[in-house]
Amino acid sequence: MNFQQIFGKSPETEASAPGRVNLLGEHTDYNDGFVLPTAIPQRTTVQLGFSTDGHHHFYSEDLDEQVNILEINHTPSGFASYIFGCIQLLQKQGYTIPPLSLYVKSTVPIGVGLSSSAALEVATLRGLRELLNLPINDVEIAQLGQQAEIQYAGLNCGIMDQMASSLAGTDSMLFLDTRTLERRVIPFPGGAEILVIDSGVHHALAAGSGYNQRRAESEEAARRLGVKALRDITDPQAAESLPEPLRRRARHVITEDNRVLEAVHGVSAKRFGELMNASHASQRNDYEVSVPAVDTLVAILQKTPGVFGARLTGGGFGGASVALVVAGEGRGIATNVLE
Ligand code: GLA
DSSP codes joined into one string, 27-47: S-GGGT-EE-EEEEEEEEEEE
Confidence of residue 73 (pLDDT cuts 50, 70, 90): confident
Gap between the Cα atoms of 171 and 334, Å rounded: 20
Residues 138 and 196 in one domain: no
Handedness of CA 8, 12, 14, 15 (dihedral sign): negative
Exposure of 132 in the CB half-sphere (CA atoms within 13 A) = 21
Gap from CA of 6 to ligand 1 centroid (Å): 34
Confidence of residue 72 (pLDDT cuts 50, 70, 90): confident
Q: Quick one: which H or E segment has residue 48?
A: strand 37-50
Residues 17 and 135 in one domain: yes
Strands 13-22 and 56-60: unpaired
Atom 9, ligand 1: residue with shortest CA distance: 158
Tell me what pLDDT residue 245 has: 97
CB-CB neighbours of 245 under 10 Å? 14
Gap between the Cα atoms of 110 and 107, Å rounded: 9
- pLDDT above 80 for 203: no
Tell me what pLDDT residue 81 has: 97
Atom 5, ligand 1: residue with shortest CA distance: 315
Q: Which of 123, 96, 95 is nearest to 107 (CA)?
A: 123
Q: Which of 310, 315, 323, 328 is nearest to 214 (CA)?
A: 315
Gap from CA of 158 to ligand 1 centroid (Å): 6
145 close to ligand 1 (CB < 6 Angstrom): no
- pLDDT above 60 for 9: yes
Gap from CA of 315 to ligand 1 centroid (Å): 5
Residues 283 and 252 in one domain: yes
Residues 255 and 175 in one domain: no
Q: Which of 116, 114, 49, 43 is nearest to 78 (CA)?
A: 116
The sheet carrying 65-69 orders its strands as 13-22, 37-50, 100-106, 56-60, 65-69
pLDDT average, residue stretch 12-39: 98
Do 113 and 209 contact (CB within 8 A), yes or no? no
Residues 148 and 234 in one domain: no
Mean per-residue pLDDT over the chain, rounded: 96
Roughly how many angstroms between the first and final C-alpha of the chain, as a whole number?
A: 35
Confidence of residue 36 (pLDDT cuts 50, 70, 90): very high
Rounded to two decimals, the pTM is 0.97
Residues 215 and 156 in one domain: no
Tell me what pLDDT residue 182 has: 98
Least confident segment among 68-82, 99-113, 183-197: 68-82
Q: Which of 159, 183, 207 is the last residue of a domain?
A: 183
Q: CATH no. for residue 144?
A: 3.30.230.10
Gap between the Cα atoms of 284 and 304, Å rounded: 20
Residues 125 and 234 in one domain: no
In sequence order, what are the residues at sequence separation of 6 or more whose Cβ sits closer than 8 angstroms to the Cβ of residue 66?
6, 57, 58, 59, 60
312 close to ligand 1 (CB < 6 Angstrom): no
Tell me what pLDDT residue 255 has: 98
121 close to ligand 1 (CB < 6 Angstrom): no
Confidence of residue 208 (pLDDT cuts 50, 70, 90): low
Percentage of the chain beyond pLDDT 90 is: 93
Residues 216 and 245 in one domain: yes
Tell me what pLDDT residue 338 has: 86
Gap between the Cα atoms of 272 and 66, Å rounded: 44
Gap from CA of 2 to ligand 1 centroid (Å): 32
Tell me what pLDDT residue 331 has: 95
Tell me what pLDDT residue 174 has: 98
pLDDT average, residue stretch 137-151: 97
Strands annotated E in 97-212: 100-106, 173-177, 183-186, 192-198
Select the more confidently predicted residue: 202 or 178. 178
Give pLDDT tens digits for 113-122. 999 999 999 9
Phi and psi at residue 55, to the nearest 5°: -125, 155
Tell me what pLDDT residue 205 has: 67
Name the 3-class secondary structure at 154: coil
pLDDT average, residue stretch 277-302: 97
Gap between the Cα atoms of 257 and 225, Å rounded: 17
Handedness of CA 81, 83, 86, 87 (dihedral sign): negative
161 close to ligand 1 (CB < 6 Angstrom): yes
Q: CATH no. for residue 215?
A: 3.30.70.890
Phi and psi at residue 80, to the nearest 5°: -65, -25
Do 135 and 128 contact (CB within 8 A), yes or no? no
Expressed as residue numbers, the domain containing 239 is 189-338
- pLDDT above 80 for 206: no
Residues 164 and 201 in one domain: no
Name the residue of 40, 150, 161 whose CB sits within 8 Å of the most ligand 1 atoms, as the mutation to test its pocket.
Answer: 161
Total tally of structural domains belonging to the chain: 2
Q: Which of 161, 183, 205 is the last residue of a domain?
A: 183
Q: Which of 183, 201, 222 is the last residue of a domain?
A: 183
Confidence of residue 238 (pLDDT cuts 50, 70, 90): very high
Gap from CA of 299 to ligand 1 centroid (Å): 22
317 close to ligand 1 (CB < 6 Angstrom): no
Residues 75 and 118 in one domain: yes
Residues 320 and 250 in one domain: yes
Residues 69 and 22 in one domain: yes
Q: Which residues are catalytic?
A: 161
